[in-house]
Amino acid sequence: MVDTPGGRARLTFAPANDHGVLGHEVRMPSGETVCVADLARLKVVPESAER
């Protein structure tokens, strides 16, 4: 759940995929669902990860 100016909305992430796309859907308080398929892309850089 996230707070928006219009009230609380539900944020649901898509399953992991091979393209590094962090897709998600936002269900607004009005019931409208917004699909955000390519807002964020992740790149794994193992040598710079903290351990």
Residue 21 has a pLDDT of 72
- Reported as a single tens digit per residue, the pLDDT across 3-44 is 989 999 999 988 877 777 778 899 999 999 988 776 566 666
What mean pLDDT is predicted for residues 45-50? 69
CA-wise closest residue to 21 among 45, 40, 46: 40
Q: What's this model's pTM, rounded to 2 decimal places?
A: 0.58
Non-local CB neighbours of 45 within 8 Å, separated by 6+ positions: none
**pLDDT confidence of residue 18:** 77
User: What is the pLDDT, as a whole number, of residue 46?
Assistant: 74
Instruction: Write down the pLDDT at residue 51.
Output: 56
